[in-house]
Amino acid sequence: MKRNSTMVTRTVKVKNKNGIHLRLAGELVKAASMFSSEIMISKDSQEVNAKSILGVASLGAEYGAELVIKADGEDEEEAVSYLVKMIDSGFAEVKDE
């Protein structure tokens, strides 16, 4: 990821009791892919491309995990805001996780 001085970074906690399992990882990747910015998600010291299902799934983001979302590009602010809202809402449509 380019180290652009305007890069947007935010932190969010996983609220789904089963964490971000494969289906939710797919939803996250699908959402990230809507944006042109380069987007990375990190947990602890592991950083992955938010547009990679294998990368996002490999984070093993369990309930309560703190994720850092970074984006660099034309729609970086929108991308980070959208993904943070998605995670913070518990993926909204997922009610019985």
Catalytic residue among 10, 15, 19, 21: 21
Query: Token pair for residue 72?
Result: 């660099």
21 among known catalytic residues: yes
Least Cα distance to 77 among 8, 6, 5, 2 occurs for 8
Least Cα distance to 25 among 14, 36, 37, 11 occurs for 14
HSE at residue 24, side-chain half, CA atoms within 13 A, is 27
Q: How far is CA 9 from CA 13, 85, 92, in A?
A: 14, 14, 22
- Catalytic residue list: 21
